[in-house]
Amino acid sequence: MQRPNSRSGQPTSRPPRSNAARPEPEQGPRRPRPRSQSLATGQRSLGDPAVHYSLWPPLINGCPRTSTDAVAYPLEVDYAYDRVPADLFGRPAAHGLERWAPLLPPLAAPGLGEGNTPLVQLPDGVYIKDESRNPTWSHKDRLNRVAVSAAKASGARGVVVASSGNHGAAAAAYAARAGLPCVVIASPSAPPAVASFVRAYGALVVTGPHESWKPLTRRIVEEFGYQPVSSLTTTAHTGHPFGPEGYKTIAYEIFLDLGETPEAVYVPTGYGELLFGVWKGFHELTLLGLADRAPRLYACEPAAAGALTTAIRTGRPAAQVPVGPTEAYGISCPVGGYRGVVAVRESRGAALTVTDEQMAAARDELAGQGMWVELSAAAGLAGLRARREDPARPGDASGPVVCVTTSSGFKDNATATPAPEPTVPADWDTVAAALRGLSG
């Protein structure tokens, strides 16, 4: 993707360095840049890439210059791409995002060995990037390693997150690792297993209706000096500007594992942060001359919501939609964000919707191959299967296809809540009959 140069207005193949513009007064004083290997130079508005800010502090309310009453635009992080070590992508694979430190914001907080998740090939040749193998069993560990590091480097007194699932668990874990208190604001109907998971890290769990989450988060930020690692904006999702940078490493790993750029990547999509991070990672590979293109990205949303699908169809930067009943609570989002629009548009991909039944079928298919994932996590494979079965849609060209699965089946609402299915009694005739049924 070509971006305008902030001085000439002409396109440039490499994102320009930050002009270090002074942040808005309400964002607080700038902090000194922590010592690290990071080549991050500043923040840039996605609403207008010519608008730059210094790297500190993170602009958690979206871009103050380009956002409007109708839509809030997020920011991304700039880097000195011309200074990336020549051997960065030739180094051995390793757990921990510090492996990719030059292309991430400063990692001021210690990690938990996140990343380097496996790429598993299904019998039909489709690859599964299994993010459930991260420390708290979801892709959110990558985001929170970066966002909690930003809170630590900024001198925040703690972190706060509004989440009933993966995001809350990951934020609590990485805050504990960084020595920061954490508040998780969740729904009273959050999965009991996830609530126990969050409390185990020492986080304060506050429950309330969804409409109370943002006002409560904002008050904690303003009165207690905590840094949010989830979104505060209402007109569109912006989130923490540093967080999605952690998702870029998924693209780096896919590229190195395959030895080439895949033809397409199917991504479970809620607010679009993961989708954008995967696109940006592949885009950076082209900027660095390692790849000649980025893959097509397919955003896979629950049919009960579909904010990104609506935005793409109507040509808007973001959309708000009603949310119907769905068990895919991890990606059933009433508001979208501009990051997802950028990822779909620049990759020449598409936004797809899938039903709970299609996600359940994909989840069962993965379980049959030894991978137990959350219903939301199976949306990528469900999107691929649905797209291939639709005669009106063109098939993928030749080349590898990757589906990202985001989290463990441990995170589903139904896990461990109903009575377990009946087991086979320890009577030989019954056991033998059951075994003959398995092998028959």
- Element (H or E) spanning 265, and its range? strand 264-268
**pTM greater than 0.75:** yes
pLDDT in tens, 329-342: 999 999 999 999 99
Residue 40 CA to residue 76 CA, distance in Å, equals: 10
Question: Is it the case that residue 2 has pLDDT exceeding 70?
Answer: no
pLDDT score recorded for residue 175? 98
Q: Which three-class secondary structure state does DSSP give residue 185?
A: strand
pLDDT score recorded for residue 299? 98
Q: How far is CA 176 from CA 3, 153, 179, 211, 270, in A?
A: 39, 15, 5, 27, 26
Neighbours of 226 (CB within 10 A): 23
By the 10 Å C-beta count (0-12 exposed, 13-18 middle, 19+ buried), 124 is classed as exposed
Q: Please provide the average confidence, as pLDDT, over all residues in the chain.
A: 89
Q: How far is CA 165 from CA 33, 43, 92, 111, 327, in A?
A: 32, 28, 32, 20, 13
Question: Is it the case that residue 31 has pLDDT exceeding 50?
Answer: no
Residue 23 CA to residue 271 CA, distance in Å, equals: 25
Question: Is it the case that residue 127 has pLDDT exceeding 60?
Answer: yes
pLDDT score recorded for residue 440? 57
